[in-house]
Amino acid sequence: MRFWPVRIVLLNLVLLLLTFPGAGDLRAQTTAGALNGVVTDPSGGVVAKAAVRLTDAGGASLDTTTNRDGFYEFKGLVPGTYTLKAVAKGFAIVTQENVGILAGKTQQLNIGLVIQIEEEKVEVSDSSTRVDVDPSNNAGTVVMKGKDLEALSDDPDELQSELQALAGPSAGPTASPPGSFRQKPPSARFESIRIPFPPNTTNLVTAASKS
């Protein structure tokens, strides 16, 4: 009977050694913090499979993804200040800085994503398209000069007839007798004929076709 006190002391010592590591783990769990929340879209709907990253002040990061309910969670966090980022397909990256984690506390932080807007780049060239107003470079204009002018009649009526002849027949619709086919006018028509008067004048005589 006198050995019972010794056995009780040894038994208590063994129990203390077995329970001491567990007490240390419990202390570590109570000093760590946690962070969780829900990721949503602009309409308030949850976003599944969104990528969420938590980065501490030293640059170390933890990654996770949201479940089908848009829920994310980080556990066992060392107390301190973190940066939280979240992104999903079709959405822009959202960054939340200065997220504080306290010992033994669970911080809740919901994230609202915004739709990503693609930027359109417009390149402006120094070169510009110039419109050539020179009649000689106009495919639909005939410029008569020099001897060509001298060959024209001095009579106004005859001059008008000659200009009309140069411009070509009218391309407007013409009546055709029943049972006959209407012949198409020639495809090439001068839109106008520009004839400069003698030098030092800026007036132009223009005969335009009706095409």
Residues found in the chain: 211
Q: Which of 91, 32, 45, 37 is nearest to 64 (CA)?
A: 37
Q: Where are the domains of the chain?
A: 32-112, 135-173+185-208
The string of pLDDT tens digits covering residues 191-200 is 445 555 444 4
Beta carbons within 10 angstroms of residue 208's beta carbon: 15
Is the pTM of the predicted complex or chain greater than 0.75? Answer: no
Is 1 a residue whose pLDDT tops 50?
A: no
Burial 93-110 (b: 16+ CB within 10 A, else e): ebeeeebebeeeeebeee
Q: Does domain 32-112 have CATH number 2.60.40.1120?
A: yes
pLDDT reported for residue 146:
65
Is 113 a residue whose pLDDT tops 80?
A: yes
Chain centroid to CA 178: 61
Rounded distance between C-alpha atoms, residue 13 and residue 35, angstroms: 39
The string of pLDDT tens digits covering residues 134-193 is 655 555 556 666 666 667 777 777 777 777 776 665 544 444 444 444 444 444 444 445
Q: For residue 73, give both structure tokens.
A: 């969670």
